[in-house]
Amino acid sequence: MGVSGAAAAGQAAKSSNSPSAKSGAKTHHAKSSRKSSRRERGQKAPAPERISEIQAALAKDGSFSGKPSGKWDDATVDAMKKFQGAHGLNPSGKLDAKTLQKLGLGSQTAGVAAPMPPVSSSSLTTSPTTTVRRQP
């Protein structure tokens, strides 16, 4: 298998330009004009409409006095602590799934157990029944 000297030299030159041949070389990525779609960590603050709804539920219970303002202020935190303590919850003053559930504003399953994957009808299979024969 004869390879000419010029062809072998050309192959060697090409391979030396490859990223694996350059050790420690930094690569620069082109900046994208697209906004990053990374998810931000931490819990987001509820919208003012949702806060007003929570304040109204706290007022209905008697924990919050005043008119719902849509702002998560000290009066709302105090009312939340009062409500949580009266209902056997951790009186942190923070909004959580169990508190929303007790206020009547949350899901019936929120905070109760880990989420379960939905059951599809194709995954439900029945096993064939076997008949038992009596011996004569």
Structural domain spans, the chain: 48-103
Helix (H) or strand (E) holding 98: helix 97-103
Give the C-alpha separation, 79 to 36, whole Å: 38
| pTM of the complete model beyond 0.85 | no
Query: What's residue 63's pLDDT?
Result: 95
Query: What's residue 77's pLDDT?
Result: 95
The sign one gets for the Cα dihedral 127, 128, 131, 132 is negative
Q: Is 83 exposed, middle or buried (0-12, 13-18, 19+ CB in 10 A)?
A: buried
Cα dihedral 13, 17, 21, 26, rounded to 10, equals 160
Query: What's residue 2's pLDDT?
Result: 52
At 48 the three-state DSSP class reads helix
Per-residue pLDDT of the chain (136 residues; tens, 9 = 90+): 555 555 555 555 554 455 554 555 556 555 656 666 677 776 678 899 999 999 999 999 999 998 999 999 999 999 999 999 999 999 999 999 899 999 999 876 665 666 667 776 655 555 556 666 677 6
Query: What's residue 65's pLDDT?
Result: 92
